Amino acid sequence: MNFDPSILTTHAGEIGDAFLVTVKTWLLGSALGLIVGLALALLIRSLGRWARLPLLALSELIRGTPFLVICFILYYGGPSIGIDLNAIFAGIVCIGFYSSVYFAEIFRSGFNAVPRGQLEAAECLGLGRWQLLVRIELPQMLVIILPALTNLLTVLCKETAILSIITVPELTAVLGGIGTRTFSFAETLVALCLAYLLLVELTARVGNWLERRVGGYLN
């Protein structure tokens, strides 16, 4: 086995594009999931005990299903019920759809972690529902859930590799393709591992840094 890194430099353009696709599907998908997840958490909270059951059940079902299968349903199953997406957009939707229930779960526990009395105090002072949410609940719960959010982001970063199976031209698809074409598995796969380790580590560091910055008031 020989190791020839030049295979990477000759395909640098292709690999760079793929890296951007990975980052794009990851971050845009996560942003989508975050927004939908927050809306879902707020919706579930506003519903009565029985009215929320269907949503909770659906959320359990999605969390019991592998990401790959979610991708199959949305990408291959979609056209059969009239939804047709280009691969990158489909990748973003897949990540967003899948992560929304996990985000919602994190937000739900975050809401529960803000002491009830603080909200009563705000109510007594006349703050409205929206002000309560934006000024009292969200700032505090974001600090509380930051570690969980960081963790979910790293998980989603790795999940983007699975998008290669539904033909999204991201890192795993492109580097895997180069490897198969040129039989230089060692170079491409090592580069692939390093790229993901880099992204995951970077996310963890940014998360840690944020935790230190915003959590200062707690001590």
| Positions that interact with other proteins (CB under 8 A) | 1, 60-61, 63-70, 72-73, 76-81, 115, 117-118, 120-129, 131, 135-136, 139-140, 143, 154, 158-162, 164-165, 172, 176, 179-180, 185-186, 189, 192-193, 196-197, 200-201, 217-219
Task: Report the distance separating Cα 106 and Cα 37, nearest Å.
Answer: 9
Give the helix ranges, DSSP H, for the chain: 6-10, 12-46, 53-64, 67-72, 78-80, 87-113, 116-124, 129-131, 138-159, 171-182, 185-214
| Residue whose CB is less far from other proteins, 43 or 121 | 121
CB atoms within 10 A of CB 103: 26
> CB of residue 129 vs other proteins: minimum separation in angstroms?
7
Q: Which helix (H) or strand (E) holds 3?
A: none
**Angle separating helix axes 87-113 and 138-159, nearest 10 degrees:** 140
| Residue whose CB is less far from other proteins, 52 or 158 | 158
| Residue whose CB is less far from other proteins, 32 or 161 | 161
| Residue whose CB is less far from other proteins, 45 or 129 | 129
> CB of residue 64 vs other proteins: minimum separation in angstroms?
4
**Are the beta carbons of 107 and 171 closer than 8 angstroms?**
no
| Residue whose CB is less far from other proteins, 39 or 189 | 189
> CB of residue 211 vs other proteins: minimum separation in angstroms?
14
> CB of residue 1 vs other proteins: minimum separation in angstroms?
5
> CB of residue 133 vs other proteins: minimum separation in angstroms?
12
CB atoms within 10 A of CB 37: 24
> CB of residue 214 vs other proteins: minimum separation in angstroms?
9
Distance of CA 41 to the CA centre of its chain: 16
Task: Report the distance separating Cα 45 and Cα 41, nearest Å.
Answer: 6
Output the CA torsion 116→119→121→126 (10° steps): -150
